[in-house]
Amino acid sequence: MYKIAVIHDDRYKGKDLSIVAEVQVDKTLSDESKLEEAFRLTNSIDHNWWENKEVTAMFSNEGCRSTSVDDFVLIDTYWPFFTRWRCDDVGWTKI
């Protein structure tokens, strides 16, 4: 398994960027598949996303919104270097 970080961008609400979750994904997946898996696992559909066994919640509130457009995922390329991806309306952009 491979851990990646999910960051919610709530700067428009006057808040800082914050890591809200670490998500475990299969390390053999392509980067695009890792991103899609992180997105799926940090969205509440049938239950709260932080209840997913592959997710470690990193927020301090009682709950947290789902990952959406303009949020980020960090993929550890070679420690301590990360590739940052921004969630777009459709797909992802490497930052």
Could you list the beta-strand ranges (E) of 1-95: 2-8, 18-25, 55-57, 72-78, 81-87, 92-94
Rounded CA-CA distance 34/93 in Å is: 14
User: pLDDT tier at 10 (50, 70, 90 boundaries)?
Assistant: confident
Q: Are 64 and 50 a contacting pair, CB within 8 Å?
A: yes
> Look-up: residue for tokens 């899609």?
36
Q: Are 89 and 24 a contacting pair, CB within 8 Å?
A: no
Q: What is the pLDDT of residues 32-60, one digit of tens each?
A: 999 999 999 999 999 999 999 999 999 98
Q: What is the pLDDT of residues 14-38, one digit of tens each?
A: 788 889 999 999 999 999 999 999 9
The residue extents of the domains of the chain are 2-94
The amino acid present at 80, given as its one-letter code, is: P
